Amino acid sequence: MNNPTQRRLAAIVSADVVGYSRLMGVDEVGTLAALRAHRAELIDPKIAEHGGRIVKTMGDGLLLEFPSVVDATTCSIEVQEGMAARNAEMPDAKRIVFRIGVNLGDIIIDGEDIHGDGVNVAARLESLAKPGGLCVSAGVHEQVRDRLDQPFADLGELDVKNIARPIRVWQWSPGDQCATADISMAFKRPALSDRPSIAVLPFENMSSDPEHQYFADGIAEDIITALSKISRMRVIARNSTFAYKGQAIDLRRVASELGVRYILEGSVRSGGNRLRITAQLIDAVDGSHVWAERYDRTVDDIFDIQDDITKEIVTALRVNLTDGEEANVLARGTNDIEAWQLCVRAAELLIRFNTTDYLEARQLAQRATECDPDYAYAWAVLGLTYWWDGRLGFTGEAAAKFERANSYAKRARALDDTVSWVIGLSVHVAGDQGDADKAVAIGQRGFELNPGSADVRGFFGISLTRAGRFSDAVDHYRAAISLNPFCPNWYRFGLARNLSILGKFDEALILLDEIHSLEASHTNSWVFTAYVLGQIGRMDDAEAAVREVKKLAPNLLLRHAPNSLSTNDEAAKGRFVVGLRKVGFPE
């Protein structure tokens, strides 16, 4: 007879090195030597001390088994605290940082190896942990909460890959003082306010053609844009809500992560010229439906449907609009369905920041302007394809690209200066022409008309930086991040840049580290990292950051560096140059 399957209950620990491939790419021999030293001097002795065993190693990872949940968690915390101490004197680029997941579950014994759902859950928990921290399952937290004097934050029930059921997750991070502590003050989960707060999730494409997803995305995005013009509402930006696209949604978790009470979700089914759009507004506190509707119309009615949904939301949440706000909310840029669809696709391609997608976005935006020459958004998208081309050098002839961008900005602004992308393009162009006052005036007007738009708050921050109003810029970048918790890196960098100029180096460094973890090739963030580290006396780390800059941008010299500040403040430029020269920036 075959031997029966052997099982037992155990505490499982999964650990993994953050950014291991990048570390190996930079210094393969040094990374392996450092990892062996950490294992020999800290990690393996801690495992033995707490009665655990190493099941297997996986290059940059470890799978461990402990008979005690308390011992497994204690060992994990002590390893993370020990690694933080060992990394303190290391350059940022060479630090080895772990994520750890701890689960209590049933395992299948296979010789020295272990398998089963309990192991899989531990691996998923590890992937959710912050660098330097750990995530534990509800079963682990139940066992350790009264036995360990350590703060854990409740992340709620989360859907994770290849696990059929949601997992209740608790998080620990080094240095947390309370259960709600977070790695950065700038990115704390926003608290609910007295204003109605809403997140519009991407509408589901129920049609067989995947190309129709652009259509569904455009509907949700236009509703977000309309609602963000209402000063009495807090509306989460598209970047953050669209992060949930294609996921199995737990509405309460989404509401908690985004700091909102209400969720709008919907679907779009199209066939020929017919549309069926469903929408429902949900109170995430109790899961109740505040409002729901189904629209069976033609494609030509799409803008009326968007207006109807917006008005129903405003009515359901009892938001009173001024006459000016109502006109602004219901204003639309075009009645041409094709122009609208072309711009939805072009905008999606534009934010991918690569040559191929930029050229396609440009073609689509050009076609949109031909369909409706009075569509301001289309001219703004077209202008931004030229402005970013000039900045990033996709196709050469930067001066000619900037001139085209300026021409399209003027045309877009003359048609409708309330559109967020028109505001952004105009701020960029005015700033590049050295007219800081004009940039601020454009940003100020945009903010007054779109107080709930995260992008507009960010664009206003750009204009304020240009004018040397750094504290004001910080306030607007913080507001933008609150409205867009899963924000693009240009928000983070804008905030870090202004904090650096103001001498708030510790917070700036946290933001810069977060940018590196998300986008290691972000050259300007390494320039500012070198400056900030030099200002706080970490010269070895600053010099390592300069070396990163040299690898990423070999032709970037000290005389170019003030451009990274994007300000006309000569005193700030002078301090920046002196600081970079001190850490050996190439001249």
- Architecture of the CATH domain 197-332: 3-Layer(aba) Sandwich (3.40)
Which stretches within 331-419 are classed as H helix?
Answer: 337-350, 355-371, 376-392, 398-415
Residue 21 confidence (pLDDT): 64
Continuous segment of H or E residues that includes residue 289: strand 288-298
**C-alpha Rg value of the chain to the nearest Å:** 26
What is d(CA 13, CA 346) in angstroms, rounded to the nearest whole number? 45
Of 141, 260, 272, 248, whose CA–CA distance to 199 is shortest?
Answer: 260
Q: At what angle do helices 302-316 and 213-227 cross, to 10 degrees?
A: 40
Go through the chain and tell me how many residues it has.
587
- Lookup: tokens for 356: 């191929």
The reported pLDDT for the residue numbered 160 is 62
pLDDT-flagged residues of the chain (< 50): 1, 176-193
Integer Cα distance of 138 and 116 in angstroms? 18
257 phi/psi in degrees, rounded to 5: -65, -35
Determine the pLDDT at residue 175: 59
CA-based nearest residue to 226, from 254, 257, 264, 261: 264
Burial class (CB in 10 A: 0-12, 13-18, 19+), 404: middle
Going from N- to C-terminal start, the domains of the chain cover 7-183, 197-332, 488-587
How far is Cα 492 from Cα 475, in angstroms, rounded to an integer?
A: 13
Whether residue 389 contacts residue 395, with contact meaning beta carbons closer than 8 Å, is answered with yes
pLDDT digits (tens, 9 = 90+) for 523-545: 888 999 999 999 999 999 999 99
What local confidence, expressed as pLDDT, does residue 353 receive? Answer: 62
CA distance 225 to 230: 10
Check: CB of residue 553 under 8 Å from CB of residue 538.
Answer: no
> What residue type is 101 in one-letter code?
G
What's the confidence (pLDDT) of residue 242? Answer: 82
pLDDT reported for residue 177? 37
Measured CA to CA, the distance from residue 131 to residue 435 in angstroms comes to 42
d(CA 22, CA 20): 5
Q: Which helix (H) or strand (E) holds 86?
A: helix 69-87
What phi, psi does 189 have (nearest 5°)?
Answer: -60, 125
**What's the CATH fold of domain 7-183?**
Alpha-Beta Plaits (3.30.70)
pLDDT of residue 62: 92
pTM to 2 decimal places: 0.59
* Fold of the domain spanning 488-587: 1.25.40
Q: What is the pLDDT of residue 448?
A: 87
Query: Beta strands 7-17 and 61-66: pairing type?
Result: antiparallel
